[in-house]
């Protein structure tokens, strides 16, 4: 017979989730250079999956741009926005990365979150 989790098990589960959210990864872009990836929150993943309902290449790229902006530590730097002349912060991704980098990195982040199958389902017409 299955038993509900104990308080200690629930707390351990939360701490594991928090640890995962605080994890960082250095990722090498296909075009060269590296960026620091932060684990996306559930809200960021949910918003990205909502945006993936437009399964065109530009729709997927836009959804991935949102995900990438929210996961790449360096892209959130206001000094970068100012020096690159970027007025809308999420435009940073498109201004700096080519389409291949954007699609490859977005796919990596979706897979890292363990949501590739769900993302594929959302993208189906």
Contact 55, 124 (CB under 8 A): yes
- Domain assignment of residue 81, yes or no: yes
Distance CA 100, CA 58 (A): 12
**Residue 6: inside a domain, yes or no?**
no
Q: How far apart, in Å, do the first and last CA atoms of the chain sit? A: 41
Quote the pLDDT of residue 57. Answer: 85
pLDDT at 53 over 70: yes
What domain count does the chain have? 1
Decide if 8 is inside a domain: no
* Cβ 110 vs Cβ 119: under 8 Å: yes
% of the chain at pLDDT higher than 90:
50
Number of other residues whose CB lies within 10 A of the CB of residue 115: 18
Per the structure, the complete domain to which residue 69 belongs is given by: 24-123
Asked if residue 15 is part of any domain, the answer here is no
The reply to whether 14 falls in a domain is no
Give the model confidence (pLDDT) of 74-121 as tens digits: 999 999 999 999 999 889 999 999 999 999 999 999 888 777 655 556
């Amino acid at each position: 017979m299955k038993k509900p989790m104990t308080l200690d098990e629930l707390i351990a589960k939360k701490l594991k989730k928090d640890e995962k959210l605080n994890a960082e990864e250095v990722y090498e872009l296909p075009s060269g250079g590296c960026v620091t990836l932060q684990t996306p929150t559930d809200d960021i993943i949910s918003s990205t999956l909502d945006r993936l309902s437009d399964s065109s290449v530009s729709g997927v790229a836009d959804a991935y741009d949102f995900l990438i902006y929210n996961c790449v530590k360096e892209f959130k730097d206001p000094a970068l926005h100012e020096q690159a002349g970027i007025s809308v912060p999420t435009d940073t991704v498109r201004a700096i990365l080519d389409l291949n980098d954007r699609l490859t990195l977005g796919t990596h982040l979706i897979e890292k979150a363990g949501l590739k199958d769900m993302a594929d389902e959302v993208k189906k017409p």
